[in-house]
Structure 1
Amino acid sequence: MQVSNTHSDSWRMGELLLHASPPELLRNGQPVSLDRSSLLVLLALVTAHGEPVTKEQLLLEGWPNRVVHENSLAKAISRLRTALKPDAVDIKAVHGFGYRLEAAALERMATEPRQPPVPAGMPVRPVRKKSFAVLIAAVVCLCLSAIAAGTYYWQEYTDNAQADALLQFLAEDLLVSVDPYAAPANLEKQNEMRFMVERIVTTMDTRFAGEPNVLMTLHHAVARAFSGWGEYDKAVSHLQQAKRLAEAQALRAETIALEASLCNHLRLAGKTHAAEQACDIAVTNAARVDAPGLSAVRVERAKLLFEIGRYQAAVDELMMVLVSAGPATDQHIIADAHWFLGLSLRKLARFDDADAAFKALLESRQQLHPSNHPLIAWAYTDYGDFLVHVGRFEQANTLLGRAQEIFTVTLGPEHVESVSPAYSLGVMYNETQRWADAISTLNTVLAVYQQGLGADHLWTLYTLGELALAYAGAGDTEKARALLAQSRTIGERQLYGRPSKSAHFHMRWAQALLQMQDYAGADAELALARQALRDGFPTDHPLHATGYCLAANLSLAQGDRSGARLLTNRCAQQMGALNMPASFPLNAQLASLNRALAEG
């Protein structure tokens, strides 16, 4: 259920009156004591008109631009129930979904926009139109430059009235190219733009309450700005507000475009369950009207399918895009399709096809962008990560180094995207047992991800697992165990119902426990890995061979040589049937197992 809130509206529930902007609840004209987040949650429930609202949506509404635990929502619901009880208004839990409002009478009342109360002693300052025009210009420039840079592919739909309303605020001195992927020479300008964007956010809902088209475009532009700065939760919040405004005006094309963007940004923000719903809605609606941007929406859904471990479904979606592409198809869409096709084919162990897709991606990016553009850095990063996976470490190191140079120069070392090559290097160090290098590298990555993406993000989870393995290999059992505990806690939330993802983590955790000589723990993780492999991958996938080799090492460590020999033979048979490249790291593990068994 998509909630919709027009900021000049109020709602009456018996003796209660709920105002939207600024949020306030009155009983017989007297304020009811509630914090702002609780009021925003109540607004979301009221505007749903008794239909259920997901917990994810309520968290986004109640705590915009913030990452909070679900307990915060539970406490807000408890406060609301207490406050609403005298008026026979209740909030019902919808098991496994969220909450809904139950009120005998609910009346929507259109009112004039209300100004927030001014604290005593504080002078009231008039809005300076020229200054506000500068703020509007900054955001519009961000919007226009994002399109010019090719970062967003959907055609913008604006009518003449909307364009006129925006253009009257433009200041000529700000009509410059503003790329979220800014080089250091432009960082001062970017900081100025960021300051103005953050200022406009505080006033634009009130200022443009009567101009929903303008407000929708501004929210979309602000979302793009925050996305370019790597702040995906903030981008999601503004995209949701833009979408509500588009839906309220029955703007079909704009709504579809915003749905596609929400699909992408919910994924980037790590909210993959909410992203699934958003992506399915986006594709369904775009296909229903045969929207011109259907291919772009399919690519966004394929990215999400890859993220949640549905690799074959991602390949099918992307091949549909590539097969149907014609001369008029946007080349950025084709490049993105090659990008996630390579990632998905790698996960399916179709390594030759994946290699070809990554090469096509790199060629496309080099044709579309200057040599120091971050999208080229991403092409180097993911091709390099693939090469790490197949054991071509020297080539991987070269590509990851190029990627790191571009990211550091364009985005700065602490941007969440800038540490992606370092993560892949950390994995390579683990594969080659360079534990100290892995620890140093991955700790840097973890700090950036935790700060920029949050503790629950999937990228944070990957890094925690690799870091636990590195500490275990280095003999720091206490640190490794603490990281594993963190990893498992996050995994319980992120990996439920996703066996293809779960298999990787259980296998990695088992490796760490084996390094720590926690054989019972390693055996338990291997059992979970085997179940996930059965549910998530065909029997000829190389992860099954990895599981056999890992189990063989466990048996050998426990002194069960006959069991180790049996499992080693199974690993070898599986590898032989797959015809894996000679550089594949599992070949080295298999050779090490055979040597250890021969020595005995």
Structure 2
Amino acid sequence: MTRYAFDDFCLDVAARALSRGGAPVALTPRVFDTLLHLLERSGELVDKDELMQAVWPSRVVEENNLNQAISALRRALGETRGEHRYILTVPGRGYRFVAEVRVASAADPLSATKPLRTLAVLPFRLLQPAQDEALQTGMADTLITRLSGLGELVVRPLSAVCRFSGQQHDPLEIGRRLGVDAVLDGTIQQAAAQVRVSMRLLNVAEGWQQWAEIFDAQTDDLFALQDAVAEKAAAALALRLTYDQRIRLTRRDTENPEAWRRYALARFFVEQRSPSALKRAVDSFRQALALDPGYALAHAELSDVYTIQGVMGARPPHEVGPPAREAALHALAIDEHLPVAHYALGHALVQYDRDWAGAELAYRRALELDPNCTSAHHRYAILLMTSGRPDEAFAQIRRARELDPTSLPIDATEGFLYYWDRQYVRAIAHLRGTLEREPHFWMAHYWLAQVLGSHGEHAAAATSAQRANELVGNDGASWLIAWTHAVAGRRDEALAQRDALLERSRHHYVPPYDIAQVHAELDDAEQVFAWLERAEQGRSRHLDTLGVDPIIDAYRADPRMADMYARVGIASVAQSPAPRG
């Protein structure tokens, strides 16, 4: 006899029993028959008269009997009023069972299993090396975007999986490294005008293949292929989706295939995180938007890249701040329900507009739309710390780490939050732990140099500063070399490095706040405030950290600092906590 499985429910026709995760669910005979008929016609509109005749054969009943049976069934399935996770009411017509249903015979081992909670979508492997490399991350990114925020599933972001791009790998081992329940692994093969995608879902804990399927499409119809893959993957994952979520699953952000390709290429460059790659990402996003000005996701991601360029010191704030804000607002005008547009706006408001309240609202809205949005938790943690709310900041960064436990930037951020909280010993241990995982991660060296210098470990600080500058490229951390000389009492070397910075600033952008920090360790208050003035007028990077930066502590009692706090908008934040070890 037949069995029907949906989410973690299983209906056994022969036993006339419904179970959920192996536990029985009580149904009256009429309610059971109502569910059975809807499952037999899954996805189809079932007319009320047809349903009443199937459930009450040879009897004349009122429509109210059917309404009561449907209400009881919804309660048994845990469906709340207006949710439509399983049963959609078509006013005046009847009902449609909208959840994905799997059918098996009694001999089939298929059964409803507990839904998988965490997933990694690996970059697709290209079976022909000459194929477009951006396609492998683009297809994965599309699936990640569509599956994120659906039901209770946590999907690792693209940043967590992109390092496996182009590798021959054991997907189960990668799944264990990423700490997920399941891995979606796929290949792409193109021949002339045809494209074939082979997908499989692997259960990491059990070590077995839970689902596999092959999809064929024309190369100019990738969107239909993406729709099919997303729907089948969601069904294989047994996601408990509302009707609206099922519609969202196949929503397309653009209908222009070439715009999507340009977007995918841009995302490929973004994950490389170098100044040159970010510049190419901006160019590719702009090309995508020229092809489709209504591409909200491209506007949002372009906004974030502009802000990242400013944070890295790769471009002056006046070049990237206004277009970052404009792009985020443009994205929201097109689609207010896009989490990335909200957190991109929040990032822009912090870094350029110094609108702390507006930024917090943006981050909170992103998390309302997607509670598992890793980037929103990450950026919100930094805002909370610079706003003088360390307990909330640590709660947010730890949640970000739970969502993406392998992220090096999130790990390093937790380290510098300890630094800003004056927990120097803990910060050092944490950042050294990050470097044990990846010795060449510039961000960990960058912050470790500052903590070590502030903690009196001058030789080690100088080594980390030099390494950070080598790794970031373009002398992006050369100010840190000058600062480590100054904090160690090597004044002549610090001044020489400072002069080199000033010479470089004649031809390249150098953030004024960086130079202010060098003068802070040279005990030159006049120059500290002169450069802070330039930083404030030029909206320099890291000015948002003024209230928590330990390098500035010696100048907090200066009356000029109160004025600077007020102008930056952090008057209530600036404190000078004693080091806590």
The alignment's TM-score, normalised by the length of structure 1, stands at 0.49
Name which structure has the greater RCO, CA cutoff 8 Å, separation 6+. Answer: 2
More strand per residue = 2
Q: Which has the larger radius of gyration?
A: 2
The alignment's TM-score, normalised by the length of structure 2, stands at 0.50
